[in-house]
A and B are shown apart, each in its own frame.
Chain A
Amino acid sequence: KNQVEQSPQSLIILEGKNCTLQCNYTVSPFSNLRWYKQDTGRGPVSLTIMTFSENTKSNGRYTATLDADTKQSSLHITASQLSDSASYICVVSEENYGQNFVFGPGTRLSVLP
């Protein structure tokens, strides 16, 4: 069964610190992997999209990595800000005829002053 797991479930850090969120998946065949940020009460917003051939992609202070061999991805947040408090969702797209996205449960990040 295609699955996406994320860890930790929740994380609390102090403003200015770095953190790394993890994503493991069993989706096959693989098309691409996405990270989304979801603020409380809002819809998810795309941060990065990586294909099989990409092993790192950055968007400002957000850097995503992908190891397609071990089926793992990470999202690294540098110099965290209060506005980074949100849920971060890992999504893996299955390579097939349709638009099949498998969503992880998300990691809830809280950045404290």
Chain B
Amino acid sequence: DVKVTQSSRYLVKRTGEKVFLECVQDMDHENMFWYRQDPGLGLRLIYFSYDVKMKEKGDIPEGYSVSREKKERFSLILESASTNQTSMYLCASSGRDRGQPQHFGDGTRLSIL
């Protein structure tokens, strides 16, 4: 089974801190994604990576950056955390074929105080 592992289930940080969220997948998938999920809204794409060192902005990239130095690992960085970034963050991976499903991690619930 595909496994997508997010480093933390819960995280509490303070305003202005630099925050790192880590995601690792074990199926050699080319594509990796970072989403945030807020109540009443669908998942919104923050960043997408289709290969090592390659990235594309999603719908809401402001205040975030990403890093993909190895194929299996995709990191999301909050450069200077703000309270409006309190949310559930979900990482996903998929193969290159557009018809393949995305496989999601169990999420990191991030609270910015």
Contacts and interface: CB of A to CB of B under 8 A. Distances in A.
Interface stretch (A12-20, A36-44, A76-84): A36-44
Which residue of A45, A46, A100, A101 has the most chain B CB atoms within 10 A of its CB atom? A101
Given A31-B98, A49-B99, A98 B48 contact: yes
Given A43-B4, A106-B42, A99 B98 contact: yes
Contacts of A99: 31, 33, 48, 50, 94, 98
Interface residues of B, number: 25
B41 to A, nearest CB: 6
Interface in B25-48: 31, 33, 35, 40-45, 48
A106 B38 CA distance: 11
A41 B78 CA distance: 22
Interface range, A side: 20 to 34
Contact of B102 (A41, A46, A100): A46
Contacts of B33: 99
Given A89-B42, A98-B56, A105-B41, A44 B99 contact: no
Interface in A19-54: 31-32, 34, 41-46, 49, 51
B107 A43 contact: yes
Interface of B: 4, 31, 33, 35, 40-45, 48, 50, 56, 90, 92, 94, 98-99, 101-107
